[in-house]
Chain A
């Protein structure tokens, strides 16, 4: 060091037009710059660490898990599902390991013409490596990318609480979701889209298994000492199979759509309009009397609702007086609140209210075929406040509403039972 400094000083003094010439032999600025610069080399630019799944810290904080409990869940998940670079498909899941390997891992190629790491390349920047909808770009997107972990999917052909079929997910990847940041991946080709769909199912099953395990800690008896039983009976039969079976049942749970009634289209639209404004379907209550989606703005979709409700609970827990608590309870209470605040700040996106669809824009996220409308109205939208009309409207009535909605972007008269006339800019 001592030999180095004079050399440095002389070198710097040579560049007198660049550095300040001053009475001290060593410019403080130059010294600081050199030190900082060398530290940069020492600290920063190493190898990229391997990708790892991020645990569901919001649920872990909610369930007040201890670090060893979180570690147990992470270990079990690695045993049952592997890592982002090396996925495991247990036979009970019914997943195809070949497809998973194509989609998993860093982008790399072992065989000429075949590229692995599809999910990392195309999906993880929005959906996250864990499929938690919290990739690096997620916070900038409206709507947020899907969080697969609770296992809820919006746009599908099955009844409300059922999982989507394989075909439903392929459709979403092929068409993208119009009106959101989800693009179409049709150009990847069928095999790659299939592989990505399989990986999405894998991440969803993994996420649901994680949630079930974290919630199960509360169900443990005191004798279990806060550890989950690591037996096949518990992990496979109780945790994994209920999730996997719902996915396998999805293929048989597709909604049966009857034929459109043989009615003149104009008549059908008129009947649909009556139902839209009527008391049975109550469409205007959320979609607004102008159908611009301005009927309501204070509800949340299920993903945001979980965060919002817990955030409110944590808020009210902050205001609880700790006077009557013992010292232990007070410490526990404070620790819980500290973890909760950190989880909400670093592992959850800011909750956003959900806007009912503006039906005059002709932008339909779930698809714009007549049958897509039928599915949305019949089963509602899982994860969103949109309710099912199945028991309330007959299939014919649903078709009339479908026809009315399809005519809405072209309705120009402005006399729609609305209390104001329709102006072009209102449509947006």
Chain B
């Protein structure tokens, strides 16, 4: 090392160092460390040029080009082919009612306080605080509210009349009064605003993003069913959040404060698959999984049950552990 240009004024590492500003005066005696540093800098620059400083991105899958060409040919020809097992064959008769109760195991984490920075004269009047309502557990019964249960695909739908009165979805003191609500496709919903200030209700996934003046309401009729529940927000007051689910067949329920739900008029005598959802669930797309193998409860939050005709089938208490629900 000592022999590395300690006295040489024009040596390459020193010239690099001067360019990089490592050493200022050419006349200065160079230390070994300086020389090493310049050498290393030079090497690293070259190495970086070669390898590049790429962040590791997720590896993208390569499409199978030959299979793509074959598929293209088969799609172009008019060969039918089924839609892949989406038809459900009816094997039973009659209609039954499904009930159950969701229970939260343990004590829920404290609800976070929402940041309210608009219209504080109305929203936080008299020191009122607004809290996140995504996890509502009943103190007395341990029931988990606002769990959505709906039938995925049914073979037959009982003819029921659409309710005459529109479903009321209201907002007051800068909060949606119903954190999760369900409706049938085609059922009119009266979106109301009981505040002295204006709100706009934005139902994502639909065309509804409407200004609602103070004290008034607007009718909204969902035209399509949502898959899993969709978010409802207010753009003027961004902390406001609710969820809505619309189903064609109307076989949907939201658990009450004590965690219980009822879905009447489901097809009886055959297997019916139901999907379960909760806003805070850590499962895919909010699916809520429970440990109930007797109901074939899958990790996608689905369970299967066969109902008895003209009776009530109770799936009992479904225990939801704290780990299934995010913080």
Q: Which residues of A contact B (CB under 8 A)?
A: 17-24, 27-30, 32-33, 36-37, 39-40, 43-44, 52, 54-55, 57, 61, 63-64, 67, 70-71, 73-80, 88, 90, 159-162, 215, 218-219, 221-224, 228-238, 279-282, 285-286, 295-296, 298-299, 302, 313, 316-317, 319-325, 333, 339, 342-343, 345-347, 380, 385-393
B198/A282 in contact, CB under 8 A: yes
* 28 residue pairs from A and B, CB less than 8 Å apart: A17-B10, A18-B10, A19-B12, A27-B4, A29-B12, A29-B13, A40-B50, A57-B57, A79-B67, A79-B68, A80-B75, A159-B207, A223-B85, A224-B84, A228-B84, A232-B75, A282-B197, A282-B199, A285-B118, A285-B198, A295-B118, A298-B238, A316-B326, A319-B327, A324-B322, A324-B323, A380-B209, A391-B210
B83/A33 in contact, CB under 8 A: no
Interface of B is mostly: loop
Nearest chain A CB to B86 CB, angstrom units: 8
Closest to A340 in B: B58
A285/B50 in contact, CB under 8 A: no
Q: Which residues of B contact A (CB under 8 A)?
A: 3-5, 8, 10-13, 39, 42-43, 46-47, 49-51, 55-58, 60-65, 67-72, 74-76, 78-85, 115, 117-119, 196-200, 202, 204, 206-207, 209-214, 218, 227, 235-236, 238, 282, 284-285, 287, 298, 300, 321-323, 326-327
A231/B82 in contact, CB under 8 A: yes
Which residues of chain B come closer than 8 Å to A235, judged between CB atoms?
Answer: 75
B211/A316 in contact, CB under 8 A: no
Which residues of chain A come closer than 8 Å to B199, judged between CB atoms?
Answer: 282
A279/B49 in contact, CB under 8 A: no
B61/A74 in contact, CB under 8 A: yes
B323/A218 in contact, CB under 8 A: no
Nearest chain B CB to A223 CB, angstrom units: 6
Nearest chain A CB to B63 CB, angstrom units: 4
The CA of A23 and the CA of B78, in the complex, are separated in Å by 82
Closest to B11 in A: A20
Closest to B5 in A: A20
Which residues of chain B come closer than 8 Å to A230, judged between CB atoms?
Answer: 71, 74
Nearest chain A CB to B147 CB, angstrom units: 18
Nearest chain A CB to B85 CB, angstrom units: 6
Identify the interface centre among A90, A228, A232, A235: most chain B CB within 10 Å of its CB.
Answer: A232
Q: When A70-B61, A71-B61, A317-B282 are in contact, do A161 and B207 touch as well, CB less than 8 Å? A: yes
Which residues of chain A come closer than 8 Å to B67, judged between CB atoms?
Answer: 75, 79
The CA of A55 and the CA of B12, in the complex, are separated in Å by 47
> Which one, B60, B75, B80, B81, contacts A90 given CB within 8 A?
B75
Nearest chain B CB to A201 CB, angstrom units: 20
A28/B82 in contact, CB under 8 A: no
Q: When A20-B11, A22-B3, A316-B326 are in contact, do A39 and B50 touch as well, CB less than 8 Å? A: yes
Which residues of chain A come closer than 8 Å to B218, judged between CB atoms?
Answer: 391-392
Which residues of chain B come closer than 8 Å to A23, judged between CB atoms?
Answer: 3
Nearest chain A CB to B87 CB, angstrom units: 11
Closest to A354 in B: B235
> Which one, B10, B39, B61, B327, contacts A320 given CB within 8 A?
B327
Which residues of chain A come closer than 8 Å to B80, judged between CB atoms?
Answer: 231-233
B61/A67 in contact, CB under 8 A: yes
The CA of A277 and the CA of B203, in the complex, are separated in Å by 25
Which residues of chain B come closer than 8 Å to A233, judged between CB atoms?
Answer: 80-84
Which residues of chain B come closer than 8 Å to A380, judged between CB atoms?
Answer: 209
Which residues of chain A come closer than 8 Å to B236, judged between CB atoms?
Answer: 282, 285-286, 296
> Which one, A29, A302, A313, A388, contacts B4 given CB within 8 A?
A29
> Which one, A29, A39, A77, A299, contacts B235 given CB within 8 A?
A299
Nearest chain A CB to B70 CB, angstrom units: 8
Nearest chain B CB to A68 CB, angstrom units: 8
A280/B198 in contact, CB under 8 A: yes
Q: When A282-B200, A298-B117 are in contact, do A29 and B39 touch as well, CB less than 8 Å? A: yes
Closest to A346 in B: B57
The CA of A281 and the CA of B117, in the complex, are separated in Å by 20
Which residues of chain A come closer than 8 Å to B39, judged between CB atoms?
Answer: 28-29, 32
Which residues of chain B come closer than 8 Å to A333, judged between CB atoms?
Answer: 282
The CA of A54 and the CA of B236, in the complex, are separated in Å by 35
